Chain A
């Protein structure tokens, strides 16, 4: 007797373990792609099979967020965007009525959600190794007048970053303001020079308040130590503080 030809969409297997291979393959698809339209009649009736891809996406997203490194928020933008897209897609796939979308569309939706969440995890991992590290809160300046922390023309200060040089460069922005606001306005002409302690090749001169400068940290061992020399008009009393200090590659 000739067997009936398989219906469109059905899978035909042959051999001793053929049914098992078909079952496992479909289960895999179901778990990772959430598409169980062709699985079994029982599965079709049990909507719980929709949940595995959603839970997978949420788990990956949670993992990425828990292990997110410190750093400026802007560098996490694309990672958060990928994770957000993944969750949104998985959620839509979950709540979408089975008959309202074609099987291929649902498969693509699930696949895109899983890919986005993996991309988010990989991106977060990359940022942990190479992303920017905000060390503004780990900097301290010493060397100003002890009583009121003001600095004058020619004052030499030391800016120490209490963090290992985990990246190849340091980006620094300092702000210089008038200490005696009632008696002067010296800020416009005030400048400073800066260099990594003991490394004259890194010297940067004529830096204005609010201007961003960078230092290469290649091969630096231990704490980052920057020497700053203030240049202002005689008699001006200034305050100097760190606005932004970021380690980056």
Chain B
């Protein structure tokens, strides 16, 4: 009688089994990847960031025929490249609405020559400064002889609502015997200066140099070396409650202000400032320590 085999099937060799297992795993992982969508990224708690900007400050944030320009806009473009989320087209904001828009989440970020102050830090977070400036004076053809603060005695000086310039200008009545006038926005003050209704416009020099360049033909100029008030530190405004994102942005900004890109942006946007103030880097460029001291702070205490 012929012998009967005791084994039903022959076992597959080890390399064959290993190949089969790996192939199955690859197939499963591939299927899982196809079945689930990639999670969308968020920044400041949203998937699409809306940035609020000025549209009437030449050199800083200016909009003409839907074409934006200026240092703030360049800063926006750098942030757009750095943060890997979608950004909407920037929305316009007036100086007086900057804090409110962030609190009401009509904007997620504000880049609008936004001075960091102790009061504002109570309501919103800042990342900055990305530029330092001081409050100066813009005069027209009528003010050719104005070289000192005392030369403004008895004249009307214009600024606009919602800026820190209003507070600094309040003291000028005592210090220089001038009369401060507060109008609605920047264009109102510039119109009145060109028309000769006010002797000077006073706000941050970075803004004034932008106007001086745009209205060069009208004879507007910034009075050199005449400043009032405390230094202004421009920061990026954020709503409170996003500390990790705020810190990430602050960390990026500390690196950015140390690059040639930052210098190039200022040179491109504010050429008159560069011409008038050869030592502009030491007076306008913030240090990493200044950024650290003012960014993402919940308290102004030391």
Q: Mark B258-301, 1 if CB is under 8 A from A, else 0.
A: 00000000000000000000000000000001100110000011
Q: Which residues from B are CB-within-8-Å of A177? A: 118, 300
Q: Which of B227, B228, B229, B294 contacts A185 (CB 8 A)?
A: B294
Whether A182 contacts B164 in the complex (CB less than 8 A), given A187-B302, A208-B302, comes out as yes
Distance between Cα atoms of A237 and B301 in the complex (Å): 16
Are A180 and B167 interface neighbours, CB within 8 A? Answer: yes
Docked complex Cα distance between A139 and B10 (Å): 98
Q: Please, which residue of chain A has its CB at the minimum distance from the CB of B168?
A: A183
> Is the beta-carbon distance between A183 and B300 smaller than 8 angstroms?
no
User: Are A187's CB and B300's CB within 8 A?
Assistant: yes
Known: A182-B167, A184-B164. A236 touches B230 (CB 8 A): yes
* Residues of B contacting A233 in the complex (Cβ-Cβ under 8 angstroms): 230-231
**Please, what's the 1-or-0 string for B63-98, where 1 marks a CB less than 8 Å from any CB in chain A?**
000000000000000000000000000000000000
Query: Does more than half of chain B's interface fall in helix, strand or loop, or is it mixed?
Result: mixed
Q: Which of B163-177 contact A (CB under 8 A)?
A: 164, 167-168
Complex Cα spacing A115 to B293, Å: 53
B302 pairs with A235, CB closer than 8 A: no
Q: A178 vs B121: C-alpha distance in the bound complex, in angstroms?
A: 12
Per-position 1/0 for A187-210, Cβ under 8 A of B: 111000000000000000000111
The answer to whether B290 and A181 have CB atoms under 8 Å apart is no
Using A178-B118, A189-B290 as known contacts, say yes or no to A184 and B230 having CB atoms under 8 A apart.
yes
- Among B229, B289, B294: residue with most chain A CB under 10 A: B229
Total B residues in contact with A, Cβ cutoff 8 Å = 24
Q: Are A187 and B118 in contact (CB under 8 A)?
A: yes
Q: Which residue of B lies closest to A186 (CB)?
A: B230
- Is residue A136 contacting chain B, with contact meaning CB distance below 8 A? no
Q: What are the residues of chain B within 8 A of A229 when measuring CB–CB?
A: none
CB distance from A30 to the nearest CB of B (A): 59
Instruction: Please tell me if the beta carbons of A183 and B233 are within 8 angstroms of each other in the complex.
Output: no
Which residues of B lie under 8 Å from residue A188 when comparing CB positions?
289-290, 293-294, 302
- Is B38's CB within 8 Å of the partner chain A? no
Q: Say yes or no: is B182 at the interface (Cβ < 8 Å to chain A).
A: no
| Chain A 51-90: CB-based contact to B (< 8 A → 1; otherwise 0) | 0000000000000000000000000000000000000000
Q: Which of B227, B230, B293 contacts A183 (CB 8 A)?
A: B230
Q: A188-B290, A189-B293 are in contact. Are A180 and B300 (CB under 8 A)?
A: no
Contact between A185 and B302, CB atoms less than 8 A apart: no
Binary B-proximity of A111-125 (CB < 8 A = 1, otherwise 0): 000000000000000
Known contacts: A186-B231, A235-B227, A235-B228. The answer to whether A181 contacts B118 by CB under 8 A is: yes
Contact digits for A163-182, partner B, Cβ 8 Å, 1 yes 0 no: 00000000000011110111
B37 close to chain A: CB less than 8 A: no
Residues on A with C-beta less than 8 A from B118 are 177-178, 181-182, 184-185, 187
* Closest residue on chain B to residue A180 by CB atoms: B167
List residues 90-127 of chain B with CB under 8 A from any CB of chain A.
Answer: 115-119, 121
Q: B254 an interface residue at 8 Å Cβ cutoff? A: no
Known: A182-B119, A183-B164, A185-B117. A210 touches B301 (CB 8 A): yes
Of all chain A residues, which has the CB nearest B135?
A235
> A209, B167: Cβ atoms under 8 Å?
no
Question: Chain A residues near B167 (CB, 8 Å)?
Answer: 180, 182-183
Nearest 4 pairs of A and B residues by beta carbon: A188-B293, A184-B230, A183-B167, A210-B302
A182-B167, A183-B229, A187-B118 known; 16 other A-B pairs, CB under 8 Å?
A: A177-B300, A178-B118, A180-B230, A183-B164, A184-B118, A185-B294, A187-B300, A187-B302, A188-B293, A208-B302, A235-B134, A235-B227, A235-B228, A235-B231, A236-B230, A237-B230
Q: Give B residues with C-beta under 8 Å from A.
A: 115-119, 121, 134, 164, 167-168, 227-233, 289-290, 293-294, 300-302
List 25 A–B pairs whose Cβ atoms lie within 8 Å, in order of A's numbering: A176-B302, A177-B118, A180-B167, A180-B230, A181-B118, A181-B119, A182-B117, A182-B118, A183-B115, A183-B167, A183-B229, A183-B230, A184-B117, A184-B229, A185-B300, A187-B300, A188-B289, A189-B293, A211-B302, A233-B231, A234-B231, A235-B168, A235-B228, A235-B229, A235-B230
